[in-house]
Chain A
Amino acid sequence: MAIKILECLNIGLHYPGNNYFTLKDINFAVEADQIVALLGESGCGKTSLLNVASGLIPATSGQVLFKGQPITTTPNGVSVVFQDACLLPWLNVAKNVAFGLGFKSLYVPKTERNCRVEAALKEVGLLDAADKYPAALSGGMAQRVSLARTLVRRSELSFLDEPFSSLDAITRRSMQQLLLNLLRAHRSSALLVTHDLDEALALADRLILIGREAGGTKLADWDLNSSLGTTGSPAAPNLRLTADHFFQALRAEISGRLSADLTD
């Protein structure tokens, strides 16, 4: 049994002011070195779940464990990549990458900081752009800077919220490959939110489907590496079959909603 780096136990989430639960009773774990994709249509609560799992917002019920310890804020060893690169416009690329390394929570001495920044920029291929400001970067470059910003933290677990959804198809492909290489090279785990099945299949070891109909519940959990499915979901001998299962589940979810709408 592999080490569980992240565990979400019976997560429920209710935003004040809403008359429904955004997340209901969600359970899953991310094991060491594993890349887990969270899939689901927009509005099903993926971002909410990622925010809870990364400690950005507290769960209404349930518990998040990072390496066995319950968390209430984002712990060291965890980094978050946001949907848009979220660079600070008043800092140049190098300083954006170093941002946060001077904070009390994870203080890295200046010389060490510069080394890490240089190494990270080299890894994402942006050493030449170190002095540029975010306004002068393309979308793909900006997102690479934001990947570098997580690299310098040497985190064991990365949360990525649709990191490439605003990029064009070609850039997205190369960014996916880059991300995969980086995660493998640093033996880092990741929880990746996406609504793109191809992206999930290309990157993930495991695939979790969140449904909106029942109010943000986990519909399925597939292990893409083993031929045996986990947690009662159908076996997945290969990727194609997994995709089929996925579409079946999605179709069931959608047709369920359609008939519900018709009877309303």
Chain B
Amino acid sequence: MSRGRPEKKRTSVLSCYFWPLLGLIGLFFWWWLAVRLLRASVPMAAYFAPEEAWHSAVRLLSRGILVRHALDSLRRVLVGLSLALAFGLPLGLLVGGIRAFDRATGLVFQLLRMVSPLSWMPLAVMFLGIGDAPVYFLLALAGVWPIILNTAAGVAAIDPKWLNLAKSLSANRREVYRYIILPGILDHLLTGLRLAIGVIWIVLVPAEMLGVQAGLGYFILDARDRMEYGDLVVAILVIGLLGATLDGAARRLRLKWLPG
């Protein structure tokens, strides 16, 4: 047993850091190679080389410009996610708890869910004007479906024995929700939140390309207009990095909040 242990640890360190790192190095290699090959036919490709991106990154980070845009984007994610949760959780509880409501909304939700939130852009701008409001709306719309669906699945998975226990303890309706249903669906809800964060992050960038003056999506268009293609590439990298970090944080949160 004492001999098997360190070996096991070594494989886990290997799979934890070595392979992901190798994958990243591979990505950078293909990036470099693609630019190299494209340069012959498309001279502009040179602007997108890793070296250019490196110079841009150093400049952007030293001036804190990118940090400001990233913070703007993260704020929008937070607001959008909160709105999605504020609407999605009660709706999910209703879907999971009331059969008639589930039947009545099933097709409607399925239909709405399959429409890309960006399709609502013209309407959102028309009714909410230009600025943060339509972006919040689009993000909430993107994130609300996984929360509704997972909450409803969580309610459906509640063990009837727990409800019986609550009944035997003379719990009122509020107590049943507070002490049985909400903790009982936590696992599903956190899964829903994680999915919502993912889709919100994906919708965020195009949503920020319309009518706002800050954020990573805005920054990409701005870099294009300034013809700072290195900046553009750095923005893409940061979007990927932050997205992966958010997802990792959501996953860790779920593991942390689930007991035992």
Contact = CB atoms under 8 A, between A and B. Distances in A.
Interface string B132-175: 00000000000000000000000000000110111111111001
Given A90-B186, A104-B175, A54 B259 contact: no
Contacts of A135: 260
A88 B180 CA distance: 8
Interface residues of A, number: 26
A100 interface: yes
B171 A103 contact: yes
A136 interface: yes
Contact of A79 (B161, B162, B168, B171): B168
Nearest to B164: A56
B11 to A, nearest CB: 27
B179 interface: yes
Given A92-B259, A133-B259, A133-B260, A103 B170 contact: yes
Nearest to A84: B161
A106 B179 CA distance: 15
Given A133-B259, A136-B260, A88 B169 contact: no
A92 to B, nearest CB: 7
Contacts, number: 61
Contact of A104 (B168, B172, B186, B260): B172
Contacts of A74: 167-170
A75 B260 CA distance: 33
B20 interface: no
A106 B183 CA distance: 21
Nearest to B175: A103
Nearest to B162: A88
| Chain B contact surface mostly | helix
Nearest to A74: B168
B161 A86 contact: yes
Interface string A72-94: 01111001101010101111100
Nearest to B159: A86
A139 to B, nearest CB: 15
B171 A100 contact: yes
A100 B260 contact: no
Given A76-B170, A90-B184, 9 more contacts: A54-B168, A56-B168, A74-B168, A89-B259, A90-B183, A103-B171, A105-B169, A105-B171, A136-B260
Interface of B: 161-162, 164-172, 175, 179-180, 183-184, 186, 258-260
Q: Top 8 closest A-B pairs, CB basis? A: A100-B169, A133-B260, A105-B170, A80-B168, A90-B183, A135-B260, A74-B168, A86-B161
